[in-house]
Amino acid sequence: MTGSLQGIKVLDLSRILGGPLCGQILGDHGADVLKVEPPQGDDTRTWGPPFRDGVASYYYGLNRNKRIQFLDLSTPEGQQRVRELIAEADVVLENFKIGTMEKWGIGYEQMQREFPQIIWCRVSGFGVDGPLGALPGYDAAVQAMAGLMSVNGEPNGDPLRVGLPVVDMVTGMNAVIGVLLALHERGRSGQGQLINASLYDSGLSLLHPHAANWFMNGKVPQRTGNAHPNIYPYDVVATGTTPIFLAVGNDRQFKLLCEHIGRPTLSEETSFATAGQRSTNRVELKALLEASLAKYDGVILADELMAIGVPAAPVLNVEQALEAPHTQHSEMVVQMGEYRGLGAPVKLSRTPATYRHAPLSEGHDFLSQENSDLDTP
C-alpha cells in the first residue's frame, strides 16, 4: 500500500510553486504523478544558488514523488500526447496564463466534453473573471494587494513581505483541498469538475484575525511586530541569552508565568489582570517582563515554561529547527540518496505518506495498477 491516494493518476502541467506543491503533496500520499515540463524545464530549475547538477534547490523542494517528461505543448505533437495522458488521468493540475491551453485546444471545457470524469485544478493569480481576472499573479505582489504586508513588520517600520512564499504555498494547499473534495464528490456523481485556486483569494483567506477585527469595529489593522494584535504577552521577549516567544493565551497561563519568574503579584495588578488589560498595556508589560527575564537562559526557560503549561519557545534559526530532536522524531526531514527535503506534515495511521521517487525521476506513462501496487520505497 503506497498511501491514501493509491490508484489516483495526476497529470501535473504546472510550474513554479503552487501547482507543483499540490502535485508533490498528492504524490506523497500515494497518487501516481506525471509532471510535464517544457523542453527547457520548469523555470525554478534555475532559481539558485544553491544548485546540484545544474538544478536549483528550489526545484528539488517541490518535485519529489513525481516522474518527469518534457513536451512542447505549443506543437501538435505535444498537444496530442497531453490528450492521451488526460484520457488516463483522474486529475489535471495547471497554472498556465488564462486562455493559453484553450488556444492550444486542450483547455478544461474542451477536455471536459471529451472526458466528463476529469477533475481539473487551475491555479491562477486572480481567477478567470472579475476586475483582475486572467491577470498573472505573483506571491509578493499578492501579499501587498491582500493586506498581508500592511500588518507585517514593526509598528513604526515599513510594511514587510512575509519571509517565505506564504501565498503561493497556501494556494497549493488549497488546491490539494479542492482536489480531495472533488474526488470525494465524484465518488457519488461520477462527474469531474473545475477547481479554481487563486493566489488572491488564498492571500485574503490568511487575514485572520485582522479581517475579523475590521468586520467588527471598522478600524484599519496596524502592524504590531511580532506581537499578537488581540492578546498579550504573545510576543518575542529578550532573555539573558536566546530570545523566546511567549504565547500566553489566558489568565491562568499568565499567572503561572508570573509565579515562575518570581513576579507573582504582577498577575494581580489591575493593568494586567485580564487579557484585555494586558493587551491594552502591552508596552509597559513587555518592559517589566524583559527586566525579570534578563537573568534567565532563554532555551532553558522555554523548556521550564512548557513543562508547567505556559506556551513558550526559543527563537531558532533554520538549521537549528531542522536538526532539532523532535524534527527527527516526527520524520520531517526525508532523505533519498543525495536528496534531502521536508517530510509530509500530515500523518495517517494506516496509510502514511511514502517517498518513492526523488526529484528528477523520469517517466512517460502512468503506472499500471499492478505496478502501482508494487511501487513502494
Q: Which residues are catalytic?
A: 168
Neighbours of 53 (CB within 10 A): 6
**What distance in Å separates the CA atoms of residue 253 and residue 289, rounded to the nearest whole number?**
14
Cβ 125 vs Cβ 142: under 8 Å: yes
- Provide the 3-class DSSP secondary structure of residue 234: strand
**What distance in Å separates the CA atoms of residue 37 and residue 59, rounded to the nearest whole number?**
12
How far does Cα 68 stand from its chain's mean position?
A: 23
CA atoms within 13 A on the CB side of 176: 19
Q: Where are the beta strands (DSSP E) in 15-86?
A: 32-37, 51-52, 55-56, 67-70
Neighbours of 152 (CB within 10 A): 19
Question: In this structure, what C-alpha cell is assigned to residue 2?
Answer: 503506497
Q: Which amino acid, one-letter code, is at 351?
A: T
